[in-house]
Amino acid sequence: MDRNAKVGACAAVAAGMLALTGCSGGAQQAATPTARTSAPVGGSVSDLEQQYEKVVAAVLPSVVKIQTDKAEGSGVVYDDQGHIVTNAHVVAGASKIQVTAASGGATLNAAPVGEFAADDLAVVKVSGGNLKPASWGDSGKAKVGQIVLAMGNPLGLAGSVTNGIVSALHRTVTTKGEGSFQGSTIADAIQTSAAINPGNSGGALVTLNGQVIGIPTAAASDPQVGGPAAGIGFATPSNTVKLIVPQLIEKGKVSNSGRAALGVVVRTIVDPQSGQGSAVAVVQVQKGGGAAKAGIRPGELILSVNGTATPDQTALSSVLANLKPGDTVKVEIQRQDGSKKTVPVTLGQLPGG
């Protein structure tokens, strides 16, 4: 089964029968756990309702509305120092960022701390206020069928909550770049049936024990009907957040991304007849990187990695997202004289700015 899904950060793109859109609106260590509750086992409908109410009351104060001069979205309070996690596409290119708690209160000015576009994550910081840190769970323990709640600022409606289940795990989701956002490829994304709408980006995907296991990032739309595809949304997993965010807080950049890289800069070669990508061309080779050591040179084409065709940059990013630094892969290339060759490449680590 093809586990890859294509997503647009702010605009729909074709992906088989579906188009997928991002969910922002236009215009240290993990935090100390907050109060937790227990999931109902064999209880009545009333028990489940009470569980929902407890989780919402515990977690919603940790969810914020983010308004910029470019767009609006959501965020989750990471720690008691005023750091807030959101999607990179929510704050990309913004010159003004304001934060309001989903549960109400004063609007606070926020300053950017850092972003890692490859995983569509960013951190902003506020001073003052009385924001409550969220409890961050282990997304590696998420189960298909598990009940989850999505909390955020959909369509400008602060403090909104929707419910659903974990529909699938380990999706590879590629978002389209737009404006100052270059796009991303998120590995191990959590697919959920909880409704994700514009403005939910950067919010919280929460379990019934009150832990955040994901950051809602993208939602699907059906080009056949020209509207939302109900029940198909994707969240960046909390374990990625817990790897990337402390680095952004400490240094403003990422040195340990955990993401594989060939060590090349590429561009897509488009077939003039079909208008589709046919291969990726190597524009630049990183000195000392895996591609350089394998003898790959600028001007050559990358046709496949480990037997998976790479007709465009999205396909190449999707393949690499499911690999790790240090892995050795078979890269099929086409030389400038038209000859083809498969070379082994030991992958390096994707840097983060």
Give the active site residue among 201, 221, 257, 317.
201
Tokens, residue 208: 């019934």
Give the active site residue among 24, 62, 79, 120.
120
Give the active site residue among 79, 83, 89, 193.
89
Tokens, residue 82: 């005023």
Which position has the token pair 């998120």?
A: 186
d(CA 212, CA 96): 27
d(CA 235, CA 282): 31
C-alpha dihedral (286, 291, 297, 303), degrees to nearest 10: -130
Alpha-carbon distances, residue 170 vs 5, 106, 178, 279, 348 (angstroms): 11, 38, 25, 26, 22
Active-site residue, 274 included = no
Active-site residue, 80 included = no
Tell me whether strands 348-349 and 260-261 are parallel, antiparallel or unpaired: antiparallel
Tell me whether strands 83-86 and 4-8 are parallel, antiparallel or unpaired: unpaired
Is residue 211 within 8 A of residue 137, CB to CB? The reply is: yes
Residues 6+ apart with CB under 8 A from 279: 268, 269, 301, 302, 303, 310, 311, 334
3-state secondary structure (DSSP) of residue 82: coil
Is residue 204 within 8 A of residue 134, CB to CB? The reply is: yes
d(CA 289, CA 131): 43
The residues carrying an active-site annotation are 89, 120, 201
